[in-house]
Amino acid sequence: MDFLRPEVQDHLMKEHFEFRKLMEEHRAADERLKTLVNKPRLTARESLEEVELKKIKLRAKEKIYNIVQEFQRGQ
């Protein structure tokens, strides 16, 4: 995530439970997506899962962005 500076990420990972949870959710969805992308063909169920994983990643990224913005305003 290009908007996330390492020092901000480190601080929020230590101090902000929701941020930590969202980062893990984003990472897990990303890993599963990579697995699906590497398959030569997807089943109908896997195609639906792919779409849902992309939505999960986007929602998590938006929430992460909001937390980072809120944190930076408070500094």
In this predicted model, what pLDDT tens digit does every residue of 42-66 receive, in sequence order?
999 999 999 999 999 999 999 999 9
Q: CA separation (Å) from 6 to 2, 11, 18, 19, 23?
A: 10, 9, 17, 14, 13
Please return the burial class of 56, using the count of CB atoms within 10 Å of its CB with bins 0-12, 13-18 and 19+. middle
In this predicted model, what pLDDT tens digit does every residue of 17-40 receive, in sequence order?
999 999 999 999 999 999 999 999
* DSSP class of 18: H
- Flag whether the pTM goes above 0.75: yes
